[in-house]
A and B are shown apart, each in its own frame.
Chain A
Amino acid sequence: MIEAQGLTKRYGATVAVDNLSFEVKPGKVTGFLGPNGAGKSTTMRMILGLDTPTSGDVRIDGKRYRDLRQPLTEIGALLDAKWVHPNRSARAHLSWMAASNKLPKANVDRVLEMVGLTEVANKRAGAYSLGMSQRLGIAGALLGDPRILLFDEPVNGLDPEGIVWIRTFMQRLAAEGRTVLVSSHLLSEMALTAEELIVIGRGRLIAQSSTAEFVDRASGSTIRVRSPQLDQFDTLLQQQQLITRVEQADDHTKVLYVDGNVTTDQVGELAASQQIVLHELTLQRGSLEQAFMQMTGDSVQYHAQDGAQAVPGVPPVSAAEMAAGPQEDN
């Protein structure tokens, strides 16, 4: 269990993390979500005792990181796969890490085997591809067989094969009953891997809930209805105090959208009670991206200008694209 209480980090006038409190529950994959520059990496560095909080604190199973005697046996982390000396072999890198926590040499071979690097273990780490470096980083995180794992943007820049590998690997770790905290700005990725979400924007906590709950609460759901008696049904729905809007789908068809707290069951029964023919009745769930944009709104650090004012010839970048884009500042 990781508990943060009023965690704050200031760099001069800039507030990177602002009074952040959350807890990471044991035995689950928790997604740490936020746009670039939201303070995810800074928070993770504070969890690991690398950066000192300006105020507040963060504890691992009730202890400060600096008080841990063999930290690798309690919490493993991969913050940056490039934190390896390029001229040192993977085996040597893991060997010094193992020695630092008095771990048996057999652990090195075990984690190399787990991540599939045994064959190239004696090659210099500088020659590894990004995917291999990422695997080495994960091997380092698993070296002490810790119950808690921290990954910062683990799928960043990986090819599809690497992404699937990491995703499956993390689910396997959680299935073994480990606590996993994984940060990402890729919301779709989090929807696939994380059960719980901690969402931050501009260093502040925006939400902490289960992934499904977050999407539900943030974006609500919309029911899409097509009917030959559309106007009649629209009036009927409005009589029920429901919010509706009618849109022209194409030249021939109009579509009715029902927003708010109502199920498809209720809408269907209402239509049946007045013998209204329906051609379509579908529930449209908001995506995580939509939910995220709605909730973080003004928390995205650098808003792109709207298309109209953009530089001629340069396609405008929307805030949504920025939030879902592949780069993360470190």
Chain B
Amino acid sequence: MSLINVERIKLFSTRSPWWCMIIAAALSIGLAALATGLASGADEARVTPAMSQFGVNLGQMVIMVMAALAVTTEYRFGTIRTSFQAVPQRVALLLNKTVVVAGLAALVGLVASFGSWAVGYLLAGTADMAIDTSAEWRLIGGQALVYGIAAIFAVAVGILIRQSAGAIAILILWPLLVESLLPLIPRIGDDLQKWSPFTNANQFINGGQDMGLAGAEAAGANTGLSPWWALAYFAAWGVALLVIALFTASKRDA
């Protein structure tokens, strides 16, 4: 418990995590306002809960930046050495950091997804925005899980890369560009994409959802896994990456 407290003090005693969390929620909700509020007339009735969640993806990028920075700034300012000096059990220390950061990310995910849905509910009055199917509950409530796992990814990459710019570049380019460009590779490209982590995170959220006005292709690539298996697959990647990172950090000179 004391190590959870350590990471809580560290995170909340500087300003940048606050900014990241506010921006993540604001981006999500702001985009939801645009996606649902600009539809009018007959279009308005075709707005669905899934359409309110497009921005939540963007907020997830910001939360990953926050999670990576929670590690890389420690390397940048040398406080990682002070940390390892105070707690030589490095794996325990970094695991607690991961728990705090991922927990916070999940909380922001909850605010972002329900906030975005609420904005859609208010702005698209004629649409059926009620959350009444299990798929819709997964869509809105599941964002918290995706945020949490994405934060684990980011912490792991931060530990491995140790530099803010490099870690952030990887965390932004990988889900946004690398995974979506994979199908361009002949023969194996489609399979590679099916088995990439963030595409599966998307499958968990958007698989089997009614995209309404945005059209079915807005749901992204179908990986063929059922939503909950897709989430498990995404989580396995995060955990595997974290294990490698923790192992590296405990062997490496600080």
Q: Would B13 and A102 count as touching, CB distance under 8 A?
A: no
Interface string of B35-47 (1 = CB under 8 A from A): 0000000000000
Interface residues of B in 2-17 (CB under 8 A from A): 2-3, 5-6, 9-10, 13-16
Interface string of B11-54 (1 = CB under 8 A from A): 00111100000000000000000000000000000000000000
Interface string of B48-89 (1 = CB under 8 A from A): 000000000000000000000000011001110111111111
Q: Would A50 and B13 count as touching, CB distance under 8 A?
A: no
Interface string of A68-111 (1 = CB under 8 A from B): 10011000010110111111110011011101111000000000
Q: Would B14 and A80 count as touching, CB distance under 8 A?
A: no
Q: Would B14 and A51 count as touching, CB distance under 8 A?
A: no
Cβ of B79 to closest chain A Cβ, rounded Å: 6
- Partner of A102 from the list B2, B16, B73, B89 (CB cut-off 8 Å) is B2
Interface string of B115-159 (1 = CB under 8 A from A): 000000000000000000000000000000000000000000000
- Partner of B86 from the list A66, A89, A97 (CB cut-off 8 Å) is A97
Q: Would A85 and B84 count as touching, CB distance under 8 A?
A: no
Q: Would A83 and B81 count as touching, CB distance under 8 A?
A: yes
A92 and B85 contact, Cβ closer than 8 Å, known pairs A82-B77, A85-B73: no
Q: Which residue in chain A gives the minimum CB-CB distance to B77?
A: A85
**Contacting residues, chain A, for B2 (C-beta < 8 A):** 99-100, 102
Q: Would A52 and B253 count as touching, CB distance under 8 A?
A: yes
Determine the main DSSP class of B at the interface with A.
helix
A65 and B88 contact, Cβ closer than 8 Å, known pairs A85-B73, A92-B13: yes
Q: Would A71 and B85 count as touching, CB distance under 8 A?
A: yes
Q: Would A50 and B14 count as touching, CB distance under 8 A?
A: no
Cβ of B20 to closest chain A Cβ, rounded Å: 14
Interface residues of B in 79-119 (CB under 8 A from A): 79, 81-89, 93
Q: Would A66 and B15 count as touching, CB distance under 8 A?
A: no
Is B254 positioned at the interface, with any CB of A under 8 Å from its CB? Answer: yes
Residue among A49, A86, A97, A102 facing the most chain B CB atoms (10 A cut-off): A97
Is A155 positioned at the interface, with any CB of B under 8 Å from its CB? Answer: no
Cβ of B86 to closest chain A Cβ, rounded Å: 4
**Contacting residues, chain B, for A166 (C-beta < 8 A):** none
A100 and B78 contact, Cβ closer than 8 Å, known pairs A51-B254, A88-B14, A92-B13: no
Is A39 positioned at the interface, with any CB of B under 8 Å from its CB? Answer: no
Measured in the bound complex, the distance between the Cα atoms of B9 and A71 in whole Å is: 20
Is A140 positioned at the interface, with any CB of B under 8 Å from its CB? Answer: yes
Cβ of B65 to closest chain A Cβ, rounded Å: 16
Residue among A65, A80, A84, A99 facing the most chain B CB atoms (10 A cut-off): A99
**Contacting residues, chain A, for B14 (C-beta < 8 A):** 85, 87-88
Q: Would B79 and A100 count as touching, CB distance under 8 A?
A: no
Q: Would A83 and B82 count as touching, CB distance under 8 A?
A: yes
**Contacting residues, chain A, for B78 (C-beta < 8 A):** 80, 82-84
Cβ of A93 to closest chain B Cβ, rounded Å: 8
Q: Would B73 and A79 count as touching, CB distance under 8 A?
A: no
A-B CB contact pairs (8 Å), 26 listed:
A48-B85, A49-B85, A49-B88, A50-B85, A50-B253, A51-B254, A67-B88, A71-B85, A82-B77, A83-B81, A83-B82, A84-B78, A84-B79, A84-B82, A85-B10, A85-B13, A87-B14, A88-B10, A88-B13, A92-B13, A96-B6, A96-B9, A100-B87, A100-B93, A101-B86, A140-B82
Binding site for B on A (CB under 8 A): 45, 48-52, 65-68, 71-72, 77, 79-80, 82-89, 92-93, 95-97, 99-102, 140
